Amino acid sequence: MNMQKRKETQSALLMILTSVIWGFALVFQRTGMEFIGPFAFNFFRCLLSLVFLLLVSTTFKIRNKRKGYKVDKSEFSSKSLIIGGILAGIALFLAMSTQQVGMISTTASKAGFITTMYIVLVPIMGIFYGRKTTPKMWLCVAIACVGIYMLSIKEGFVIEKGDLLVFISAIFFALQIVIIDIFAPRVDAIKLSMVEFMTSGLLSLVATLATETTTILGVKAAFVAILYTGLLSSGVGFTLQIVAQKNLPPTITSLIMSMEAGVSAVAGVLFLGEILSSREIVGCMIMVISVLIAQVQLPLRKSKEIEDEFDQNTENRKIAQ
């Protein structure tokens, strides 16, 4: 196994771990809002994540100083760090806020599956910065929309408010993935994550002061939920995402992240007693199919690529002769 393949494998394992962490986080996000508002929850979550990352960053600095390591400034751009971190932070604030508010009136299971729409949305957004999208991807979007309809829209074409907000959050999560894809290779992963959480936390604080009333008793009651989402889901999870995306294409990253939906469904049933109707289960299955088709390379296309490569090699041999 060459070095690049080893890095890709390690990054894939990190993303699998991240998906499991995020899947269980949806349970804590629901339970935490029984005591404090969604914006306050996100503020304390981001604050805890920022403190965690400051400790991690300080630890790395001390260790590297003892070993005599120096920062390679050719691989670090403060301008890219600030711009990328702020943009990712804004996208993350919008994503977490709409998801958190939406989960007040929907289940963790449904939220997990609807959020995975970013797997289909990421390659479509890639069109705007040079990544190609095929007709197959548009077909996947259509299939996913059918799944959303089955999962979220009731008889009489009525969509639940919570489901709509979670779908909007999927758009912002897709945007956050795209931003990370653009900036992660250029900057330090931990510092980028710190700027991201600082931005998201400040925006959440403003929204909290403007719309919510938070008490110390409420924060204490929601402490376990804040601890899990702040340390594991945000601090560890989003940082692992940035590290992993340095060596993985965004489409592969989003495919692995789709495991979050399955984990959240299992966690919702086990810990919250949630039950999906037969219609909602069919919707989930349709969405899974759209995700798999979006990410799996079709044999016909692969065969055509092999044929084209064979023809090119044959032509090169003729030229050489």
pLDDT digits (tens, 9 = 90+) for 226-248: 999 999 888 888 778 777 877 77
Interacting residues of 201 by C-beta distance below 8 A, sequence separation 6+: 42, 43, 46, 47, 49, 50
8 A C-beta contact, residue 280 and residue 113? no
User: pLDDT-based confidence at 44, cuts 50/70/90?
Assistant: very high
Q: What is the mean pLDDT of the chain?
A: 78
Confidence of residue 10 (pLDDT cuts 50, 70, 90): confident
pLDDT for 312 equals: 47
What digits encode the pLDDT tens for the residues 187-206? 887 888 889 999 999 999 99
**Rounded distance, CA 69 to CA 61, Å?**
9
Number of other residues whose CB lies within 10 A of the CB of residue 184: 24
Residue with tokens 């919707």: 283
Q: What is the pLDDT of residues 117-169, one digit of tens each?
A: 777 787 778 777 776 667 776 777 778 777 767 766 666 556 778 888 988 99
DSSP 3-state assignment of 136?
helix
| Mean pLDDT, range 85-91, rounded to an integer | 95
Quick one: pLDDT band at residue 48, thresholds 50, 70, 90?
Answer: very high
Q: Say what the pLDDT of residue 251 is.
A: 62
Give the pLDDT score at 315. 42
Q: Name the residue among 39, 31, 35 with its Cα closest to residue 215.
A: 35
The pLDDT assigned to 203 comes to 97
Q: Report, as an integer, the average pLDDT of 40-59.
A: 90
At CA 98, angle to CA 97 and CA 102, rounded to 5?
115
pLDDT band at 303 (very low <50, low <70, confident <90, very high): very low
pTM: 0.73
pLDDT > 60? residue 263:
yes
What percent of the chain stands above pLDDT 70? 79
Q: Tell me which of 69-78, 98-107, 303-312 is least confident.
A: 303-312
Query: What residue type is assigned to position 274 of the chain?
Result: E
pLDDT score recorded for residue 239: 77
Average pLDDT over residues 292-297: 65
What is the pLDDT confidence band of residue 304, given thresholds at 50, 70 and 90?
very low
172 pLDDT higher than 80 = yes
Residue bearing the bigger pLDDT, 165 or 283:
165
pLDDT (tens digit per residue) in 212-229? 999 999 999 999 999 999
Distance, in Å, from the CA atom of 255 to the CA atom of 32, rounded to the nearest integer, reads: 28
